[in-house]
Structure 1
Amino acid sequence: MKLFTAAQVKEADSLTIKNQQISSLDLMERAATQAYLWLKKSYPDKETLFHVFCGLGNNGGDGLVIARLLHEDKYNVVLDIAEIAGSPTADFTANLEMVKKTGIEKNNNQMVPYTKGKVVIVDAIFGIGLSREPDDEVKAIISRINNSEAVVVSIDVPSGLFLDRKTDIAVQADYVLTFQCGKLAFYLPDNYKFVNKAIILDIGLDAEYLRQTHSDYYLTERYAATKLYKPLLPYAHKGTQGHALIIGGSYGKIGAVCLSAKAALKAGCGLVTVLLPKCGYTIIQGYFPEAMAVTNGEDFIEQIHYNSNPDAVGIGPGLGQEPQTQQALFEFLRAHTKPIVVDADVLNILASNKERLGLLPPQSILTPHPKELQRLTGEWSDDFEMLQKIKDFSKKYNVIVVAKNAHTIVAYKDEVHINTSGNAALATGGSGDVLTGILTSLLVQGYSPFNAAVFGVYLHGCTADIAVKEISAQAFTASDIIAYLGKAYMEIETDTRNK
Structure 2
Amino acid sequence: MKLFSAKQIYKADQITTKKQGIAGEELMERASLQLFNWMHLRMQGAPVKIHLFCGIGNNGGDGIALARHLLEHGYNIAVYVVNYSEKRSEDFLINLARLKERKCWPNFMNSDDELPVIGKDDIIVDGIFGIGINRTPDAWVIKLIQHLNNSQAFILSIDIPSGLFSDQSPKDFDAIIKSNYVLSFQAPKLTFFLPESGPYVEQWEALDIGLDVDYLSSTETAYELIGKNEVLTVYRPREKYAHKGTYGHVLILGGSYGKIGAVCLSSKAALHAGCGLVTAYLPAVGYSILQTSLPEIMVLTDKDEKIITDITFEIDPTIIGVGMGMGTDDKTIMAFGSFLKSNEKPLVLDADAINILSKHKDLLKHLPKDTILTPHPKELERLIGKWKNDFDKLNKVKKFSDQHQCVVVIKGANTIVVQNGKGYVNTTGNPGMATAGSGDVLTGIISGLRAQGYSALNAAVFGVYLHGKAGDIAVEKTGYQSMVATDLISNLGNAYLDLFQIPEQPQPSEAEPEAQQ
Aligned to 2:122: 119
Residue type of the alignment partner of 1:23 = A
For residues 36-83 of structure 1, give each alpha carbon's deviation from its aligned partner in whole angstroms, at most 9, with x where no partner exists. Answer: 222234445703332211101110011112222223333332222102
Aligned to 1:2: 2
Aligned to 2:316: 309
Q: Secondary structure in 1 aligned to 2:176?
A: coil
TM-score (structure 2 length as normaliser): 0.92
Q: Distance in 1 between matches of 2:22 and 2:271?
A: 55
Asked whether the 8 Å contact 1:77–1:104 carries over to 2, the reply is: no
2:140 equivalent to 1:137: yes
Aligned to 2:292: 286
Residue type of the alignment partner of 1:318 = G
- Cα–Cα, structure 1 residues 82 and 485, in superposed 2: closer, same or farther, change >3 Å? same
Residue type of the alignment partner of 1:114 = G
Asked whether the 8 Å contact 2:119–2:151 carries over to 1, the reply is: yes
2:276 equivalent to 1:270: yes
2:266 equivalent to 1:260: yes
* Count of paired positions: 495
Q: Secondary structure in 2 aligned to 1:239?
A: helix
Asked whether the 8 Å contact 2:252–2:281 carries over to 1, the reply is: yes
Counterpart among 322, 330, 335 of residue 342 in structure 2:
335
Q: Secondary structure in 2 aligned to 1:35?
A: helix
Q: Distance in 2 between matches of 1:361 and 1:378?
A: 22
What CA RMSD, in Å, does the superposition of the two structures yield over aligned residues?
1.9
Aligned to 1:164: 167
Asked whether the 8 Å contact 2:319–2:450 carries over to 1, the reply is: yes
Counterpart among 451, 460, 479 of residue 453 in structure 1:
460
Q: CA shift at 1:245, angstroms?
A: 0.9
2:411 equivalent to 1:399: no
Q: Distance in 2 between matches of 1:317 and 1:250?
A: 9
Asked whether the 8 Å contact 1:395–1:413 carries over to 2, the reply is: yes
Q: Distance in 2 between matches of 1:217 and 1:40?
A: 32
For residues 113-169 of structure 1, give each alpha carbon's deviation from its aligned partner in whole angstroms, at most 9, with x where no partner exists. Answer: 433xx3221110011111222111111111111212222221111111112322122
Asked whether the 8 Å contact 2:115–2:144 carries over to 1, the reply is: no
Q: CA shift at 1:410, angstroms?
A: 0.8
For residues 229-274 of structure 1, give each alpha carbon's deviation from its aligned partner in whole angstroms, at most 9, with x where no partner exists. Answer: 1122222221111111111111111111111111110111111111
Unmatched 5+ stretches in structure 1: none
Q: Secondary structure in 1 aligned to 2:500?
A: helix
Aligned to 2:514: none
Query: What percent of counterpart residues are identical?
Result: 47
- Cα–Cα, structure 1 residues 111 and 307, in superposed 2: closer, same or farther, change >3 Å? farther
Q: Distance in 2 between matches of 1:432 and 1:3?
A: 26
Asked whether the 8 Å contact 2:99–2:105 carries over to 1, the reply is: no
Asked whether the 8 Å contact 1:337–1:362 carries over to 2, the reply is: no
Aligned to 1:34: 34
Q: CA shift at 1:105, angstroms?
A: 5.1
Q: Give the stretch that moved more between structures: 199-208 or 71-80.
A: 71-80
Aligned to 1:146: 149
Q: Give the stretch that moved more between structures: 175-184 or 394-403.
A: 175-184
2:342 equivalent to 1:319: no
Unmatched 5+ stretches in structure 2: 506-517
Q: Distance in 2 between matches of 1:60 and 1:14?
A: 19
Matches within 5 A, 1:191-206: 191-206=197-212
Q: Distance in 1 between matches of 2:15 and 2:451?
A: 45
For residues 77-127 of structure 1, give each alpha carbon's deviation from its aligned partner in whole angstroms, at most 9, with x where no partner exists. Answer: 222210225522121111112222444454556444433xx3221110011
Q: CA shift at 1:5, angstroms?
A: 1.7
Aligned to 1:51: 51
Q: Distance in 2 between matches of 1:263 and 1:80?
A: 55
Residue type of the alignment partner of 1:7 = K
Q: Give the stretch that moved more between structures: 44-53 or 410-419.
A: 44-53
Residue type of the alignment partner of 2:329 = E
Counterpart among 382, 393, 401 of residue 386 in structure 1:
393
Q: Distance in 2 between matches of 1:470 and 1:300?
A: 37
2:230 equivalent to 1:224: yes
Q: Distance in 1 between matches of 2:477 and 2:33?
A: 35
Q: Give the stretch that moved more between structures: 184-193 or 67-76.
A: 67-76
TM-score (structure 1 length as normaliser): 0.95
Aligned to 1:62: 62
Q: Distance in 2 between matches of 1:384 and 1:226?
A: 29
Counterpart among 213, 216, 221 of residue 210 in structure 1:
216
Counterpart among 169, 188, 198 of residue 194 in structure 2:
188
Q: Distance in 2 between matches of 1:66 and 1:422?
A: 34
Residue type of the alignment partner of 1:27 = L
Aligned to 2:363: 356
Asked whether the 8 Å contact 2:191–2:198 carries over to 1, the reply is: no
Aligned to 2:489: 482
Q: Distance in 1 between matches of 2:329 and 2:82?
A: 62
Matches within 5 A, 1:232-243: 232-243=238-249
